[in-house]
Amino acid sequence: MLFAHDTEPALIAAAALVNTGGSHGEALPDVAALDAFLATHGWTGRHERTEAELRAVRDLRPRLRRIWYADTDEVVATVNELLRDAGALPQLIRHDDEPYHLHAVPRDAPLPTRMAVEAAMALADLVRGDELSRLRVCDHPDCDNVLVDLSKNRSRRYCDAGCGNRAAVTAYRARRAAARS
């Protein structure tokens, strides 16, 4: 593991959240979709299941997406802003059989706030470790999914949405076409 046990899942969840609003279409069309997203990424705590909450979660996505395209100083400014806006106060806590980890807002804080702060705390870890280069955008030309490259040799180029396979098929067809001509 490269980072603290709570940093990696938080980064993966942040990328997944960003990707629910990318070029593959709206993946959080309703509250039920948000429920499923939260279950997939192990989110517990306050969840109102309202349209307003859903909207606030969706509105967080472009703010987080910009981080993947930003330089270090811009990332720092955004992270600090997210933490400041939420009145973040880091506390070590234990719940749901997880070992001690950091929460910077209470578990009954609004879901979008908790999502923003959890992403910001994990990104702060990346900044401190000088590891922002692990934030990538999928190499496939038709895809704007963001990803976190947690591979040892920093070799990850494609997102999880099948882009690696699509690129391999395209390259294979191009080689065959070239061999024929």
> Residue numbers of the site for Zn ion (CB under 5 A)?
138, 140, 143, 145, 159, 161, 163
Taking CA atoms, 159 is separated from 19, 57, 138, in Å, by 10, 22, 5
CB of residue 116 to Zn ion, shortest distance in Å? 15
Q: Which is nearer to Zn ion, 92 or 177 (CB)?
A: 92
Can you name the residues that pair with 137 across neighbouring β-strands? Answer: 146
**Distance between CA 101 and CA 32 in Å, rounded?**
28
CB of residue 90 to Zn ion, shortest distance in Å? 12
CB of residue 140 to Zn ion, shortest distance in Å? 4
CB of residue 130 to Zn ion, shortest distance in Å? 26
- Within the chain, where are the H helices? 7-19, 31-40, 51-69, 72-85, 111-128, 163-180
Q: Which is nearer to Zn ion, 76 or 139 (CB)?
A: 139
Q: Which is nearer to Zn ion, 31 or 161 (CB)?
A: 161
Q: Which is nearer to Zn ion, 67 or 105 (CB)?
A: 105
Task: Give the distance, in angstroms, between the CA of residue 134 and the centroid of all CA atoms in the same chain.
Answer: 12
CB of residue 167 to Zn ion, shortest distance in Å? 9
Within 8 A by CB and 6+ apart from 116, the residues are: 60, 63, 64, 82, 85, 86
Residue whose pair of structure tokens reads 């879901």 in the numeric block: 111
CB of residue 101 to Zn ion, shortest distance in Å? 5
Q: Which is nearer to Zn ion, 20 or 145 (CB)?
A: 145
Within 8 A by CB and 6+ apart from 67, the residues are: 74, 75, 78, 79, 123, 135
Q: Which is nearer to Zn ion, 135 or 138 (CB)?
A: 138
